[in-house]
Structure 1
């Protein structure tokens, strides 16, 4: 098999609806196989039990992941009040005794105590991440230490919860289940919110279901399904190929636009600085340098050390002009 030309292959962003049971790495592996490329990465891990929106960068799209990973998010979750677990979710062993059913019914009947506890977990707060997070402790993932039998205490981190809204609260099998929706900053652990809500009410709590429905301006309604393991590759069946969002369109979903001319595009791709009157405005950068009207993404630009100039923070090379099979409309249909 001959080596691919540098830059050859698909480039873009993928919005996928991850099912339960797959890790984020599993999804990346399937997409690599499906599109026959090694250059695939994701912006924000979802636990195997969680479902919902997973953003992937393909080819030069991986250069945008750094800017997408910090986007705010929306989750739909179910929190079970009545006992805590080691992992803050349903997969972990129970910690302590379960709360009496009458105590949980009292919380449901009063309701104001539940609303107050949720209000206290809304806004700018300090959150101690779940011990089974991917945060490294002395070079080792925290979840690996917990699963190895160690006790891990992580430092609190500032997060922002813009919305923590109850959709439904009900008694289920002697426990109080709370369906809710959460709008939050990147770095927020929903399982930690479940843990802290249970602790605040004195009954313990853990997460039983989680679905990510939004990342920045991307929503799960626009996501595609992940190819099955035995599905043909895109080149073998173009009608079933995944549809990639073009780099320019994807970048403008989370970065401001900085229009450039063809000559400026060439300069940026050669590492040269370009003039820009607004280069001193920190709110305008980093920005997506795009050539109108084609929408071609040239680079991510930021202010250069010299006033009034911009430089490339990340260059997007021009892919070789290799004709690629276009997927049929069926590829975008959710099945």
Structure 2
């Protein structure tokens, strides 16, 4: 995964920094970057890791020379709050998709072909229904049956502990931004083409269940079924238009590149009933947290315009929530503050700073361990460079930041 950046004119480090924006639901990460660009009156703005439109939470946005830190921030571990709905599968593995039979979710997941442990075989004590038709020949709405009492809270927790914590192999979602021969996987999937992504290693350091609720859900969800808050169980009993489901609230801390939608999908497959996300919020990216005092909140607002073909189009855009007269830069972390939250840092002398800015080697700072992949070097008031170890106990500049 790489950071997304847009070039533009920047005058110096005083016009550079990092914003922690609380992304609202219903807009893309690019929409949030556009809102920041508008507020900053600057083109050189980027973000460190995409959030899906349905997701909310921490989006780290860099501007000016701080965009060069984004590729280091994007590799940080992340924490999410999510709700997994067991008993229904969708083609996108979240609530924005179309409900599909469990067998189709297994096929889309590629787990059977990938050689991973998830082959679609139900665990002992669970039942799996992959039959796409009901007894009367109509399409089945529920992805997998949930026999009464078969999937207990204990079974859910045990399955998570035994199969979805630590280092695991994960097949990314077919509807993802991963490129296949130059094309995004989600573009191929929307065209109805077969998308086969390879399993990749990810690390799940925390997968905690915070609540489990039985509920009923619409057999065919409405377009606005995605929730900005964890779903509240319905008191209504099961009807011809509803199906029984189990909603599982979780907190997940994971390595960069982990798909929470894929965790929901694979847990549902492992339990033999299908699963998808109905709620997702990112609360932390590395040391950048949603509860920070400097967080910039945002909201989605509708915008109507006429395109070049004369068609009237209505879509959402992001807008930053700032009091009148408040410059968004007042909420930004400085270059040094951003580096300190991203990697180990060392204070260097003015002479060493000049050497680094000329691309020359300096002695590796004694305050830093020698086994680091990268570290930041700064003077009292300026970020100078990102340095990497070089032979002979020296440091070479990997990224150099201009003065000013």
Aligned CA distance change for structure 1 residues 148 and 11 (closer, same or farther; 3 Å): same
5+ residue gaps, structure 2: 1-7, 102-139, 217-243, 302-316
Deviation of 1:121 after TM superposition, in Å, equals 0.8
2:197 aligned to which of 123, 140, 154: 154
Q: Give the alignment's Cα RMSD to 1 decimal.
A: 2.5
* CA separation of 1:23 and 1:99: change in aligned 2, threshold 3 A: closer
Pairing partner for 1:112 from 154, 163, 166: 154
Aligned to 2:56: 51
TM-score, length-scaled by structure 1: 0.86
Q: Give the structure-2-normalised TM-score.
A: 0.72
1:19 and 2:104 matched: no
1:242-286 per-position Cα deviation (integer Å, ceiling 9, x unaligned): 411011111111211122101111111121211226599553341
**CA apart distance, 1:84:** 1.1
Superposition pairs of residues 1-335 of structure 1, within 5 angstroms:
6-7=11-12, 10-96=15-101, 97=140, 98=142, 103=147, 105-107=149-151, 110-119=152-161, 120-173=163-216, 174-222=244-292, 223-226=295-298, 238-242=325-329, 243-276=331-364, 282-292=370-380, 294=381, 296-304=382-390, 306-319=391-404
Unpaired segments ≥5 residues, structure 1: 320-335
Q: Which has the higher helix share?
A: 1
Of the structure 1 ranges 96-105 and 198-207, higher mean CA displacement relative to structure 2 is found in 96-105
Q: After the TM superposition, which parts of structure 1 deviate over 4 Å for at least 4 consecutive aligned residues?
A: 3-6, 99-102, 227-234, 277-282
Offset from partner CA, 1:28-60 (integer Å, 9 cap, x none): 111111101111100000001100000011101
Cα 1:8/1:256, change in 2 over 3 Å: closer
Q: Is the 8 A contact 1:280 1:308 kept in 2?
A: no
Over 3 Å counting, the alpha-carbon distance change for 1:172 and 1:80 in structure 2 is: same
Do the aligned partners of residues 102 and 233 (structure 1) sit closer, same or farther apart at CA in structure 2, a change above 3 Å counting? closer
Partner of 2:120: none
Q: Give the aligned length.
A: 311
